[in-house]
Amino acid sequence: MDKRIGQNTLTGRLKEQPNTFIHDEILYPQFKYEVQHLLPYYIQIEKVISMEYTRMGLLEHEALQHILLQLDKLDIDTLVGNPQENMTDILFAIERYVEQNTSHSITAWHLDRSRNDVQATAQVMLARDQLLNMMEALLSLADAIHPLAMQHIHTKMPGYTHYQSAQIISPGFYFAAILEHIGQTIGRFQNHWTSLDECPLGSGAMSGLELQWDRVNMARMLGFERECRHALMGVASKDFMLLIGAELSNVSVTLTRFMTDFMNWGSSEYRFLQLPDHLCGISSAMPQKKNFTILERIRGKLAHIPAYYLDLVMGQQRTPYTNLVETAKEGGSHFLTMLETMNSAIQLLTHVITHVSFDQEQMERVCNEQFFGGFSLANQLTLQCDVPYRNAQIIAGKYITAMIKQRRGPLDVDSELLRTICGEMGYVSKLHDEILIQCFSAESGLSAKQSSGSTHPDQVAELLSIQERERALTWEYVQNAKERSGTYLLY
């Protein structure tokens, strides 16, 4: 008889082991998932717990060394799930493996402990590392966008509101907006990582443990800043999945909006954006087409993220606030899938950004064809002719309508026509042709804006510089966090 485990059973409560159906449908898929994604964390946790037993005088130093040696031998091949031997449970499997391969007395090993807090700790450790990887992916995307934005701060392109041409902007200005969103997202991820910097280990099943565990030291040995202060929260809370999922869901929505613009710009009607042939697809029926299907792939992948987030929410909705298989395992079964899908979309978008180009002639042609200067004309009528602003808007609209009716372009300026329209409304226009050309010239479309955050090339360049400095600091933060969270057991 094996005195350490007892007749090859792990329970005195149940008379039967899990049957083949339960093993195949539930236990083995979970075992396979945890071995693949959580085993390194479980091993580190087991090492910390074992060292803590030695500190408390419950495990001899020589026995500790043998346990650590056996834990180092564990990998995806050596750890086997078996419903009779270990109930196909990863922690029981680790316990059984070490017990069977250690000749020293380890009676107190696994005394006063629970699987609940060990599992919670491993899940948080995985989430922390995945969160840092996601931050790196977004930073890399931003690094790829930055030079493209700098290249096009003076490049004119049409800007649209309500699907209608509105004002002249630049690709640099537009990409600075993407960088701003990415930077704010990463900033919120930093806050989430800080909230994850507390270790559940030592919370026990739900109410704490009976021995004097040094939870502060165990937390730091596992790369955490602090221990979770409340035992029930340590095992019951799965907020980290919701926080990360919500943020990914939010940024996925924003990125789909950017992708929609890219898809419009690359269409045969716009022809602003180009991709090399190796990133494009074709039509089997229409040989004239060059399809930017990679953009559809990216937007399609991003569309999955809110659904995965809702899945995480529903996995916890109306469940008791305690440790449950429903929340700890089933509820987070698509957490990694969500992260992997988001990472794939970001990697694809980064690749696209490094290969995208703009047809500057086509964009400038559209800028010169449309009456983008109506806003400037109304401003000048108020500033120089003392026309009340709302009436100035009416006059500018009448002038543009008359010019379009006469099939004239924006630069076919007509100060006499403007004076006539002003006179009909009881005002005197002092604006000559040179001012009208300045209002409607694409050349002045960018530089006319003076406020911070505007399309003015100097403002865009300044913001891009600020964003670059902020990213450098964030890169440093991420690398320091990865170094600390990945530094386990310096023994």
- Taking the C-alpha atoms of residue 333 and residue 340, their distance in angstroms, rounded to an integer, is 13
Please answer whether residues 259 and 300 qualify as being in contact, where contact means their C-beta atoms are separated by less than 8 angstroms: no
Handedness of CA 245, 248, 254, 257 (dihedral sign): negative
Quick: pLDDT tens for 86-107: 899 999 999 999 999 988 889 9
- Taking the C-alpha atoms of residue 478 and residue 137, their distance in angstroms, rounded to an integer, is 11
Q: What average pLDDT does range 151-167 have in this prediction?
A: 95
Quick: pLDDT tens for 411-439: 999 999 999 999 999 999 999 999 999 99
* Per-residue model confidence (pLDDT) at position 105: 82
Q: What average pLDDT does range 125-148 have in this prediction?
A: 97
* Per-residue model confidence (pLDDT) at position 344: 98
SS3 357: strand
Looking up tokens 């794939």 gives 344
Please answer whether residues 81 and 88 qualify as being in contact, where contact means their C-beta atoms are separated by less than 8 angstroms: yes
The dihedral region occupied by 130, where left means phi > 0, alpha psi between -120 and 50, and beta the remainder, is: alpha
Q: What domains can you pick out in the chain, each with its CATH number?
A: 20-111 (no CATH), 116-365+470-485 (1.20.200.10), 373-441 (1.10.40)
Inter-helix orientation angle 171-195/239-265, to 10°: 170
Quick: pLDDT tens for 338-350: 999 999 999 999 9
* Per-residue model confidence (pLDDT) at position 478: 95
The neighbour count for residue 358, using CB atoms within 10 Å, is: 18
Quick: pLDDT tens for 389-407: 999 999 999 999 999 999 9
Percent above pLDDT 70 for the chain? 97
Please answer whether residues 246 and 309 qualify as being in contact, where contact means their C-beta atoms are separated by less than 8 angstroms: yes
* Per-residue model confidence (pLDDT) at position 6: 45
DSSP H helices, 323-452, are 325-328, 335-353, 360-369, 374-385, 389-405, 415-424, 433-440, 443-447
* Per-residue model confidence (pLDDT) at position 285: 85
For the chain, the first-to-last Cα distance in angstroms comes to: 36
* Contacts of residue 442, Cβ cutoff 8 Å, sequence gap at least 6: 156, 168, 364, 367, 368, 372
Q: Is pLDDT at 374 greater than 80 in this prediction?
A: yes
Split at pLDDT 50, 70, 90, the class of 231 is very high
- Taking the C-alpha atoms of residue 304 and residue 175, their distance in angstroms, rounded to an integer, is 24
DSSP string, 15-49: SS---HHHIIIIIHHHHHHHHHHTHHHHHHHHHHH
Pick the more confident residue, 140 or 447. 140
Split at pLDDT 50, 70, 90, the class of 1 is very low
* Per-residue model confidence (pLDDT) at position 488: 52
* Contacts of residue 474, Cβ cutoff 8 Å, sequence gap at least 6: 135, 139, 183, 186, 187, 190
Distances (CA, A) of 318 to 69, 245, 247, 322, 377: 43, 18, 22, 12, 59
Q: Is pLDDT at 273 greater than 50 in this prediction?
A: yes
* Per-residue model confidence (pLDDT) at position 4: 43
Split at pLDDT 50, 70, 90, the class of 10 is low
